[in-house]
Structure 1
Amino acid sequence: MRVDQIDTSQYQTLLDQKVKDTLELFKGLALPEHSVVASPEKHYRLRAEFRVWHQGEDSYYIMFDPATKEKFRVDHFLPGSELINQLMQAVREAFLANDILRFKLYQVDFLTTLSGEALVSLIYHKPLDDNWQREAEQLKTELNKIAPLNIIGRSRKQKILVEQDFVTEKLTVCGEEYSYKQIENTFTQPNGFINQKMLEWANNISSSLSHDLLELYCGNGNFSIALANQFNKVLATEISKNSVKCANFNLAQNGINNTVIGQSSAEDFSAAYFEGKPVKSLKEIDFNDYKFSTILVDPPRAGLDQDTESLVQKFEHILYISCNPETLAKNLTAITSTHEIADICFFDQFPYTHHIETGVWLRKK
């Protein structure tokens, strides 16, 4: 659905149909009673990207119709946070009045937070020079009247920071506040409200578990940090070097000292843990120090490969966070040969689309 055609009065009907369609994918699986967490009906997205279209003396934001690929103008972005919508207008007014900021401007990206911080990336088809930086610094000063904000300028082989390239998010989970550094161009959950609800769901389940937690695909430590206090120790892995650095920073910021982040793919970790194969990035981790009872996986849309399916089946408890019900259904068909589904919850991370986030807790039969 095009964002300029969203009808919020249809939200609940669309969500009910989405859940019904998703449950169809799980036919044949023994499911407990499911639960559903609805999203706010508008202003739920914390990040957005817009192309800039230049037409004579005017320039404005555009997006593309997902069905026809035709462009359409965007002056107001209903899914975007209220801060995104404020900044969209302020940034457009600024570049319309400033030839240096406007010339060859190709795209504008916004990253905002529930904590009220923001990052604006201006992407160009031209080299950026001192004149551009001077105007961008002035723009930052003006935009700081709206919110604490930083600017990034990008062009081919250039990245200019007007102070810094990250925001600090603050999430409240089961009454505890956690701080997360979120870097430009790294993955973050787009729907902050739903992210908090997913963390609370995982936290509540983990409160009944014990021993140590292994997490694969940990990103910037989103789940690791919120669940650390429920386990004796946590070992988390992530293949992205930048995300590992960010996760370690976040652990320190939150005073968490029972968690270790290792840079590794799920496949390499499995080979190191179960077969003893040497993995350089994991060489300083002594697996004998851990007594794992639970594994948490939050894989990309492709889901778990066959080796990782086999890996998770070795654990007493599995927490599986999925952004793709189709690959989740395939994985669950294999995993339920050894485990039963104890809880399933649907989180409407992406309103007005067919996408839905699913949390599943499985325990060994």
Structure 2
Amino acid sequence: MVAEGKCLARHNNMVIFVGGVAPGDVVDLRITRKKKSFMEGQAIRFHEYSEQRVQPFCEHFGICGGCKWQHIGYDTQLLYKQKQVKDNLERIGKVALPEFDPILGSAEDRYYRNKLEFTFSGNGWLTNEQIQSGQEFERRALGFHIPGRFDKILDIQHCYLQPDPSNAIRLAVRDYARANNFEFYDAVRQEGFVRNLIIRTANTGELMVILLVKYDDQEAILGIMKHLEINFPEITSLQYVVNTKMNDTFHDMEVVCYKGLPYIHEEMEGIRFRVGPKSFYQTNADQAYELYRITREFAGLTGNELVYDLYTGAGTIANFVAKQSREVIGIEYVPSAIEDAKINSQINNISNTTFYAGDMKDILSDELIAQHGRPDVVITDPPRAGMHPDVVEKLLQVHPDRIVYVSCNPATQARDLELMSEKYDVARVQPVDMFPQTHHVENIVLLTAK
């Protein structure tokens, strides 16, 4: 098992990357891509099955593109994720690994997500079996994109990612739209009425549903809203968006709250985090708590430290560690996220946080550091691309005593660690599995100043 959840095979000294298989499978391959140094292949016939294989539990496995590791047992998934972190740190980061804590697995390996986004399509994807049957099938679909196809949607019957009533709500909306002959969206022609459905569940029991439509047909919109209100009284935030744009993003669009409050709450250790329709929040709330708890532990806070929280998002980590810190400075690129961060401090009566919005390499300046002081601890949780070289250079210049680096991409994390190795030692490493049934893994590294 190698990068991106694929397996490695060799033929005539040529490396072949193969998805959808397990180490030990004996297969016939069809080569789908050929480069000078590698090829990609697809298994078309199995001669022997690996002992690591298990029976996938979802009827949509292998088609919708989600949960690509269902065919491998969860304990085995964790072993490969830990190996992925170790290999990246050693090969890319050239890190001489100290204490390497075993990966922290998720207590739940199904129904662990608190947010899913589904897409409508009037020309739903048919499987090979359906095509070969010669029968007519309902093509109006509400589900997930086929991998690599922006315009093809697989109609989902049951999804194992989000707990009830997520499946029931999705099916109710789809069936209502079919029964009332609403036009399902066509991404190629940019036509149709119903576009997307977003469902957010919270560990407080609160529930948000957002319907996105192409044009403002109030009779049709209110019909769906009323249908959901009657059949799912547990929805605490029922909203809709009229999105006339060519893409599905709605961060610059008005969100109309039909029923309840325009937000829901997640909670950690008594701290409540307000989650609006445009807010970012970790999609595995239980594991997010573990991630932040370990981050706080690595930071070694005593109540006297000045903490800089880089890429703070909605200020989740900043507010989570504020009670153990003298002061926390949070920096984030997205202005709306910073507004969420300020609200989250406010509703929890946290007064020792300050937040700034803007490009990290510009905001993290000599002027900011002169104003607030040199940080004792820096917590950084950058996007998958890692930290900008200017940010790394600034951290080396400021030279805090400890840096806690949280990453969703151990490869770019390892690259940044090598850049900081002149002034920092890697003291601890803790992988955390946020996304069971996938190859993705989060990793926390504690850096201490030399």
Normalising TM by the smaller chain, what interval? Answer: 0.7 to 0.9
Q: 1:20 matched to which residue of 2?
A: 83
- 2-structure distance, mates of 1:68, 1:155: 21
Deviations 1:37-61 (A, max 9, x none): 1121100111112222336876332
Q: State the 1:98 CA deviation.
A: 3.5
Q: TM-score, normalised by structure 1?
A: 0.86
Greater shift, 71-80 or 232-241, is seen at 71-80
Equivalent AA in structure 2 for residue 45 of structure 1: R
Greater shift, 34-43 or 250-259, is seen at 34-43
Q: 2:410 matched to which residue of 1?
A: 325
- 2-structure distance, mates of 1:348, 1:57: 37
- Contact 1:101 1:136 survives alignment (8 Å): no
- Contact 2:307 2:376 survives alignment (8 Å): yes
Q: 2:48 matched to which residue of 1?
A: none
Question: In the superposition, relative to structure 1, how do residues 239 and 68 fare at CA in structure 2: closer, same or farther (>3 Å)?
Answer: closer
- Contact 1:171 1:196 survives alignment (8 Å): no
Q: Give the structure with higher Rg (CA).
A: 2
Aligned residues: 350
Correspondence 1:61-210 to 2 at 5 A: 61-66=142-147, 71-99=153-181, 104-125=193-214, 127-156=215-244, 159-161=254-256, 162-163=258-259, 166-172=262-268, 176-209=269-302, 210=304
- Contact 1:60 1:75 survives alignment (8 Å): no
Residues 1:222 and 2:316 are matched in the alignment:
yes
- Contact 1:322 1:328 survives alignment (8 Å): yes
- 5+ residue gaps, structure 1, are 277-284
- 1-structure distance, mates of 2:231, 2:393: 51
Q: 1:279 matched to which residue of 2?
A: none
Q: 2:121 matched to which residue of 1?
A: 53
- 2-structure distance, mates of 1:263, 1:347: 28
- 2-structure distance, mates of 1:38, 1:229: 27
Question: In the superposition, relative to structure 1, how do residues 146 and 94 fare at CA in structure 2: closer, same or farther (>3 Å)?
Answer: farther
Q: State the 1:211 CA deviation.
A: 1.8
Among 338, 348, 358, the residue aligned to 1:264: 358
Q: State the 1:101 CA deviation.
A: 8.8
- 1-structure distance, mates of 2:228, 2:146: 32
Question: In the superposition, relative to structure 1, how do residues 136 and 340 fare at CA in structure 2: closer, same or farther (>3 Å)?
Answer: same
Q: What is the RMSD of the two structures over their aligned residues, measured on CA atoms?
A: 2.7
- Contact 1:121 1:153 survives alignment (8 Å): yes
- Contact 1:294 1:316 survives alignment (8 Å): yes
Q: 2:95 matched to which residue of 1?
A: 29
Query: Secondary structure of 1:333's partner?
Result: helix
Q: State the 1:160 CA deviation.
A: 4.8
Equivalent AA in structure 2 for residue 212 of structure 1: L
- Contact 1:215 1:224 survives alignment (8 Å): yes
Query: Secondary structure of 2:270's partner?
Result: strand
Equivalent AA in structure 1 for residue 78 of structure 2: L
Among 292, 305, 311, the residue aligned to 2:375: 292
- Contact 1:118 1:149 survives alignment (8 Å): yes
Q: State the 1:99 CA deviation.
A: 4.2
- 2-structure distance, mates of 1:163, 1:36: 42
Among 331, 338, 345, the residue aligned to 2:430: 345
Q: 1:302 matched to which residue of 2?
A: 385
Greater shift, 111-120 or 212-221, is seen at 111-120
- 5+ residue gaps, structure 2, are 1-19, 21-55, 62-66, 124-136, 185-191, 246-252
Greater shift, 54-63 or 347-356, is seen at 54-63
- Contact 2:266 2:275 survives alignment (8 Å): no
Equivalent AA in structure 1 for residue 435 of structure 2: F
Between the two proteins, what is the percent identity of the paired residues? Answer: 21
Structure number with the higher helix fraction is 1
- 2-structure distance, mates of 1:297, 1:86: 38
